[in-house]
Homo-oligomer: A and B are copies of this chain.
Amino acid sequence: MSKLVIVGTVAFDAIETPFGKTDKILGGAATYIGLSASHFDVDATLVSVVGGDFPETYLNLLSDKNLDTSGIEVVKDGKTFFWSGRYHNDMNSRDTLATELNTLADFNPVVPKNYTDADVVMLGNLHPLVQASVLDQMTVKPKLVILDTMNFWMDCALDDLLNVIKRIDVITINDEEARQLTGEYALVAAAKKIHKMGPKYVVIKKGEHGALLFNDDNVFFAPALPLEEVFDPTGAGDTFAGGFAGYLAQTNNISFENMKNAVIYGSTLASFCVEKFGTERMQHVSKNDVEKRLLQFKALTQFDIKLT
């Protein structure tokens, strides 16, 4: 079974949408990535940090999904990273109401010894130096390194970000971030520039407008499933990344054709994430749910034109 290292935040989130609001609930990039990757036959560990205030039930929730939590450092006298945000009516934009780094401020990720030879490394959104430090700990060069990042690091740690981007195989980034990183408006042109920065594969996430996968002149597109109601978009991008990484780790095949399938699995899992607040829906997605939704994705996108 392939090993997968997932690095990112494990956090408390408080979320407001037009449909309601939550108190502090389970959140964080690594949490969403892990819950999504747990749908695949992989041996996955989460590398993260939490405070003494982080409930054991949350840790159990993750280990019950066969996620190794030995890489989640618990700082007994520290507090868990907290993020709070409010979504606008269109659900495509949000205001950050609070960001309390807490234990995340001094986070030194430690990859558990038995995972330093992992096949796939998924670097969730974190300071690029923290992401680089995880790569430094790998004793065997991973078959695939995937990195997610955000505009914040382009603003305040661009050089560090460019340095870690050189070392990875796949970047996942949203459309506005791709434009910011490259100065190119057209996403085809932006992807070309990002290829030159290092990554052979570029995934540009467009939220409700789907996701594009680029590999030189090859392009693949997966729509988001059209939903009557998006309840809470929090974590959808991380859930996409978790499905993408989990599928590639399970199949142990990083051809472009197989990466197309990984994009479809990522989109499929993300379509569940937005149906309820936080990780609520992702905690209860069954194998049967996933297969049914994959059939919906096929019906949505597959056609049969015979060329003469």
Complex interface: chain B residues within 8 A of A206 (CB): 209
**CB nearest neighbor in B for A301:** B301
Contact B302 A302 (CB under 8 A): yes
Copies in the complex: 2
Q: Is A260 an interface residue (CB 8 A)?
A: yes
> Would you give the shortest CB distance from A215 to chain B, in whole angstroms?
11
- Which of A261-308 touch B at CB < 8 Å? 261, 263-265, 291, 294-295, 298-305, 307-308
**Most-contacted residue by chain B among A186, A227, A257 (CB, 10 A):** A186
Contact B261 A304 (CB under 8 A): yes
Q: Is A164 an interface residue (CB 8 A)?
A: no
Complex interface: chain B residues within 8 A of A87 (CB): none
**CB nearest neighbor in B for A247:** B305
Cα–Cα distance between A218 and B302 once the two chains are bound (Å): 13
Contact B221 A301 (CB under 8 A): yes
From B89, B228, B261, B304, contact of A257 by CB (8 A):
B304
**CB nearest neighbor in B for A298:** B305
Complex interface: chain B residues within 8 A of A261 (CB): 303-305
Cα–Cα distance between A90 and B179 once the two chains are bound (Å): 12
Complex interface: chain B residues within 8 A of A58 (CB): none
Q: Write out, one digit per residue, whether chain A residues 168-180 have a CB within 8 A of any chain B CB (1) or not (0).
A: 0000000000000
